[in-house]
C-alpha cells in the first residue's frame, strides 16, 4: 500500500469471545459510515481462534441478522502489529509470499466486545506498541468488563449499585450448598450471569432455588466467575451514553428506556440484535426532569470513577419514587444499527458519522502510554 497523507485508521473486530458476531456487526456499521475521504481505513479481523487477518470489511457480509451470523474470514492474509513503539506498523503476510509492511497506523478503533478485547488485554498490546486507540485504557477497560470489580469501584466512589453475590469456580465446586444459601439471601427471582461477558449472553432469570444450578452451569460456559443479582421487579430499565468532548470533559446523552421485550422475558441477545417484533425502545425516555438529571449526573460520575476515556454506556434501574441504581457500565458499547448508544447520541444532536469522527479525533489527540 502506497503512503497516504490521510490518517490511517485500523478498525479491529471479531475476536475470541462469545460476542464475536456482535463485534462483526458493530464493525459493519462503523465501516459503512466512516469518512473514507478523510481517513485511510484498514479493516482487521480477529478470528475465533485468535488469528489476526486483513479483512475485506464488507458491511453486508458482517451484518448480524436472524438468518446470518457473521464471522471473520480466518483464511485472509495474516497481520502482525509491530512491537516497536517507534514504528507503530502493521505487517501483512500474504499466503506463500514474503511478509510486507502495510504501514504505520495512526489510530486503532477496537470494536471488540467481551474478553480478549474489551477487557484491557488488547489495550495493553496497543500500549506496548505505542499505538493510539479509541476508548478506555487498560484499567478502566478491565474494571468495566468485570462486573464484580466494577461494583466495588462504583460503590467505593459512593455511587448506588445493585446488590449481588459472586460465585467463583472453586466455591461452586467445593461447597455449592453455601453458594445456594448466599444466593437465597438475595431473594428470588434473581439474574445469574457471567461476570465478564456482555450482549446478554449466558444470562438466565431464575424464579426459585430449583433453577439455580442449571443457570450457574450455563453462565460458567462463558466465564468461571458468575454474578448473581436480585431481579429488579417493577423497575424501569434505562440507559445513558457518555462521550468525551474534545477538551476532555465528559458529557451525558439523552436517556433511553427499554419499554418492551417482545416475546422475551428480558432484554436478551435476540431482543437486542435480531430485530424481533415487540421490542420497543424509547429515546428520550418519558421520565421526570429531575430523574433524567440524576441519571445523567450518575453516568458521568461512573465514567470518571472508573477512569474511562472516549465513550461508555451506563445502564440503570429506576424504581418507584425515582430511586436510581446503576446496573453496569460498558466501556465499548455496541454500535450496531439497533444499539442504544448511537441512537441516544443521535437524539442528542451527534449523528453516527459525527460520533465515529469524534472518537477517532479524541484518540488521535491523546498520548499513548501513561496519562
- Sequence-distant (6+) residues with CB within 8 A of 115 are 16, 17, 121, 145, 196, 197, 223
Tell me, yes or no, if the pTM score tops 0.85.
Answer: yes
pLDDT of residue 197: 78
Location of C-alpha cell 478485547: 117
Q: pLDDT at residue 195 above 90?
A: yes
Q: Which range, 228-242, 270-284, 292-306, 336-350, has the best average confidence (pLDDT)?
A: 292-306
pLDDT of residue 278: 53
Task: Report pLDDT digits (tens) over 98-131.
Answer: 555 566 789 999 999 888 889 999 999 889 888 8
Spatial contact of 213 and 179, defined as CB atoms under 8 Å apart: no
C-alpha cell at 201: 449472553
Instruction: Catalogue all structural domains in the chain, each as residue range(s) with its CATH number.
Output: 8-133 (3.40.50.20), 144-161+234-349 (3.30.470.20), 165-230 (3.30.1490.20)
What mean pLDDT do residues 248-262 have? Answer: 86
pLDDT of residue 1: 46
Q: pLDDT at residue 244 above 70?
A: yes
Q: Grade residue 210 by pLDDT with cuts at 50, 70 and 90.
A: very high
pLDDT of residue 336: 74
Spatial contact of 348 and 333, defined as CB atoms under 8 Å apart: no
Backbone angles phi, psi at 313, to 5 degrees: -125, 135
Backbone angles phi, psi at 271, to 5 degrees: -65, -35
Three-state SS letters, 9-37: EEEEEECCCCCHHHHHHHHHHHHHHCCCC
What mean pLDDT do residues 206-224 have? Answer: 93
What mean pLDDT do residues 22-26 have? Answer: 91
- Sequence-distant (6+) residues with CB within 8 A of 290 are 322
Question: How far apart, in Å, are the Cα atoms of 124 and each of 105, 162, 174, 210?
Answer: 16, 30, 34, 42
Q: Grade residue 264 by pLDDT with cuts at 50, 70 and 90.
A: very low
Backbone angles phi, psi at 72, to 5 degrees: -70, 140
Q: Grade residue 341 by pLDDT with cuts at 50, 70 and 90.
A: very high
Task: Report d(CA 249, CA 252) in Å as an integer.
Answer: 10
CB count within 10 Å of CB 5 equals 5
Nearest to 327 by CA among 274, 282, 266, 278: 266
What is the secondary structure of 257-289 as a DSSP string?
EEEEETTSSSS-HHHHHS--TTEEEESS----H
pLDDT of residue 265: 57
What mean pLDDT do residues 164-173 have? Answer: 92
Length of the chain: 371
Task: Report pLDDT digits (tens) over 61-90.
Answer: 898 877 788 899 888 888 876 666 666 666
42 vs 101, more confident: 42
260 vs 247, more confident: 247
- For the chain, what is the largest distance between any 2 Cα atoms, rounded to a whole number of angstroms? 67
Spatial contact of 125 and 81, defined as CB atoms under 8 Å apart: yes
- Strand order in 8-14's β-sheet? 100-104, 89-93, 78-81, 52-54, 40-46, 8-14, 107-111
Amino acid at each position: 500500500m502506497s503512503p497516504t497523507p490521510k490518517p490511517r485508521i485500523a478498525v479491529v473486530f471479531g475476536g475470541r469471545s462469545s460476542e464475536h458476531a456482535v463485534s462483526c456487526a458493530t464493525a459493519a456499521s462503523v465501516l459503512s459510515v466512516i469518512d473514507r475521504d478523510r481517513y485511510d481505513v484498514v479493516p482487521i479481523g480477529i478470528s475465533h481462534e485468535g488469528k489476526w487477518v486483513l479483512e475485506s470489511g464488507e458491511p453486508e457480509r458482517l451484518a448480524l441478522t436472524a438468518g446470518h451470523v457473521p464471522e471473520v474470514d480466518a483464511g485472509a492474509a495474516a497481520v502482525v502489529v509491530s512491537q516497536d513503539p517507534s514504528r507503530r506498523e502493521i505487517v501483512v503476510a500474504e499466503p506463500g509470499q514474503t511478509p510486507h509492511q502495510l504501514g504505520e497506523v495512526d489510530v486503532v478503533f477496537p470494536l471488540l466486545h467481551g474478553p480478549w478485547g474489551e477487557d484491557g488485554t488488547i489495550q495493553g498490546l496497543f500500549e506496548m506498541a505505542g499505538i493510539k486507540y479509541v476508548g478506555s485504557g487498560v484499567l478502566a477497560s478491565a474494571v468495566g468488563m468485570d462486573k464484580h470489580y466494577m461494583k466495588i469501584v462504583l460503590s467505593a466512589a459512593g455511587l448506588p449499585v445493585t446488590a449481588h453475590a459472586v460465585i467463583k469456580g472453586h466455591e461452586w465446586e467445593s461447597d455449592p450448598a453455601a453458594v445456594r444459601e448466599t444466593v437465597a439471601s438475595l431473594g428470588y427471582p434473581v439474574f445469574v450471569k457471567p461476570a465478564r461477558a456482555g450482549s446478554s449472553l449466558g444470562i438466565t432469570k431464575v424464579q426459585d432455588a430449583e433453577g439455580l444450578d442449571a443457570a450457574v452451569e450455563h453462565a460458567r460456559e462463558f466465564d468461571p466467575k458468575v454474578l448473581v443479582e436480585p431481579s429488579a421487579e417493577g423497575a424501569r430499565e434505562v440507559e445513558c451514553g457518555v462521550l468525551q468532548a474534545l477538551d476532555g470533559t465528559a458529557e451525558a446523552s439523552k436517556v433511553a428506556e427499554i419499554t418492551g421485550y417482545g416475546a422475551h422475558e428480558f432484554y436478551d441477545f435476540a431482543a437486542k440484535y435480531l430485530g424481533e417484533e415487540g421490542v420497543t425502545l424509547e429515546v428520550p425516555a418519558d421520565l421526570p426532569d429531575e430523574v433524567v438529571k440524576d441519571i445523567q449526573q450518575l453516568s458521568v460520575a461512573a465514567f470518571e470513577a472508573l477512569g474511562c476515556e472516549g465513550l461508555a454506556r451506563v445502564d440503570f434501574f429506576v424504581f418507584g419514587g425515582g430511586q436510581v441504581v446503576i446496573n453496569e457500565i460498558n466501556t465499548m458499547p455496541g454500535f450496531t444499527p439497533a444499539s442504544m448508544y448511537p441512537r441516544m447520541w443521535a437524539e442528542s444532536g451527534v449523528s453516527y458519522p459525527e460520533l465515529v469522527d469524534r472518537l477517532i479525533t479524541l484518540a488521535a489527540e491523546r498520548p499513548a502510554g501513561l496519562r
